[in-house]
Structure 1
């Protein structure tokens, strides 16, 4: 249902699954395993995989903490988008990369739920993309010491509210890793809940 013309493809967007971003994150190993499953499935089903890596004052570009976790590996032909803002579209090449790939629908996984995931989901929907969140393939660190809810509640709340998002001519929603079928999404047959 994307509003972007001539953009029939669906891509997996892997956001910030980096050593220092997910090192102490809620259900880190389960989430990383689910992201690995999604990457493998996207490749098998011919869907583009686009990788996003964040850097800032605390996360130096090129450092070991900046690297993608060792359980995942980007193949040379898969695009890498480097960012410095929460929304992966802001100040990056992401829109150009997706346009060149003919992508109008995004399936998002990664970190952090209450930061870059939420910002990128909203950024995608506002720019005309369909945006599906994989409910068991995103995580965040515990920021409750600063007044945030516990990570389990952050993840649950994000899954709840994203399941009810919509915009004219665009679809949003959540699916589990097991439910993701890039072939069906590309054909417009899958619905997010």
Structure 2
């Protein structure tokens, strides 16, 4: 088995691991907890880039050597002001790109977006995310609709792709989802089917 995984933020609270990235359940308001997944993904990107380069340090107003839940939540709340969901949440990938670039720019960082919004096969999607991971970039992944039973709870939802695995059984994708590290078979997650509507984006400096 070969694991290609970014050094993604581990979040701590009182000496105990609280999350692999952020969790929308940490928000204080009910609607935020229901519809704040885009903000969590944006905060995940901000925390990751702030911890990797001095040029992006302004994206995260906390300790990037050891991420605390309270400081992570503060950044989630800040990103939420940019990615405030409407009655249907925040299901527009192009708007996510616009708002993350705005947030980054107003915090001293300039990025370029790389998007995959069109329908395509699993192999093309894997090539896209492998390039992102190889270059040290997480992938914001929007699942608008997915036919797999395993994805029932993840429809109309943003997660963060943090790596991929290759082993004898094929390829798998690692994601941060509501503060949990989850692994899905690539052929299932990225399947090209009319019942699946998927959007992917990563950013580079």
> TM-score range with shorter-chain normalisation?
0.3 to 0.5
Larger relative helix fraction: 2
Normalised TM-score (structure 2)? 0.32
